[in-house]
């Protein structure tokens, strides 16, 4: 009989906490937005994507699943990462960009997210390196319009968006290399990866709350 893999003690707990924080702050951000339906819809896309990422991750990592269910949850876990990043860029791009830059960034981020989700649900396993590469490309879609983002968001907003991208990228490197792996039985490389996703999502949440929403 195959032995169950023992998870690190803190596996998934950072995302459990983050899911509750996002659920509360997401509602607050939407409520504070301009009453225009279109603006609130953009924020709903963001909030749903980010909440889905943390909630699915919490369930996947804290619950012991049967093999078939585990495989499905793993794919859902990876898929929602792409949805969260694309969801965050949606209101940011709508407020900060115009002209060709807006559809270019949104097309790249959502196209990359769709590709990432598709790769996750193919009948064959996606190589870790390929998943990591698509993840990084989606996270840096804003590089297509960095000067315009700075102009549209100002120094604070631009710094927060950039900081979120850096955090997601460092997390991707940790995930891809499995290093550092400080305390494998308690807080291993995967927990480090999760910590960087929390930082990245936190930066984007701050950018949306303090810069994007006031500009709507």
What CATH number is associated with residue 148? 1.20.1070
| Tens of pLDDT, residues 149-174 | 999 999 999 999 999 999 999 998 99
Is residue 17 domain-resident?
A: yes
Is 3 domain-assigned?
Answer: no
Give the integer Cα–Cα distance in Å for 157 and 22. 19
Say which residue, 33 or 99, is predicted with more confidence. Answer: 99
Question: What's the token pair of residue 161?
Answer: 């968006």
Q: Which residue from 127, 109, 131, 118 is spatially nearest to 49, judged by alpha carbons?
A: 109
- Tell me, yes or no, whether 37 lies in a domain: yes
190 close to 20: Cβ distance less than 8 angstroms: no
Under 8 Å between Cβ of 161 and 139: no
pLDDT for the residue numbered 199: 98
Position of tokens 């963001």?
46
211 pLDDT higher than 60: yes
User: Which of 1-15, 22-36, 61-75, 101-115 is predicted least confidently?
Assistant: 1-15
CA distance linking residue 8 with residue 40, whole number of Å: 39
Residue 42 placed within a domain = yes
Residues 49 and 88: beta-carbon distance below 8 Å = yes
List residues bridging with 183 in a β-sheet: 187
Inside any domain, residue 4: no
Q: What is the mean pLDDT of residues 174-197?
A: 96
Distance from C-alpha of 200 to C-alpha of 85, rounded to nearest angstrom: 9
> What pLDDT is attached to residue 128?
81
Residue 113 belongs to some domain of the structure: yes
Domain hosting 133: range is: 13-215
Domain assignment present for 2: no
Task: Give the count of domains, the chain.
Answer: 1
Tokens of 140: 């840096």
**Which pLDDT belongs to residue 89?**
95
116-144: average pLDDT: 88
Does residue 1 lie within any of the structural domains? no
Q: What is the pLDDT of residue 2?
A: 45
User: What DSSP designation does 100 have?
Assistant: T
Whether 114 contacts 147, CB under 8 Å: no
């Amino acid at each position: 009989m195959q032995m169950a893999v023992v998870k690190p003690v803190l596996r998934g707990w950072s995302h459990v906490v983050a899911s509750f924080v996002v659920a509360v702050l997401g509602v607050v951000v939407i409520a504070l937005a301009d009453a225009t339906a279109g603006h609130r819809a953009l924020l709903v896309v963001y909030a749903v994507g980010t909440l889905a990422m943390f909630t699915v991750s919490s369930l996947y990592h804290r619950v012991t699943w049967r093999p078939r269910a585990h495989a499905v949850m793993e794919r859902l876990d990876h898929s929602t990462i792409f949805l969260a990043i694309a969801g965050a860029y949606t209101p940011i791009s709508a407020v900060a960009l115009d002209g060709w830059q807006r559809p270019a960034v949104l097309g790249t981020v959502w196209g990359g997210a769709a590709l990432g989700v598709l790769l996750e649900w193919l009948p064959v396993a996606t190589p870790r390196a390929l998943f990591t590469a698509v993840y990084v490309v989606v996270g840096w879609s804003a590089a297509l319009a960095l000067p315009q983002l700075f102009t549209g968001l100002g120094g604070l907003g631009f710094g927060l968006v950039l900081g979120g991208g850096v955090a997601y990228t460092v997390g991707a490197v940790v995930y891809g290399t499995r290093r550092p792996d400080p305390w494998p039985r308690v807080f291993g490389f995967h927990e480090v990866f999760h910590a960087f996703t929390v930082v990245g999502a936190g930066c984007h949440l701050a950018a949306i709350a303090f810069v994007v929403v006031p500009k709507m």
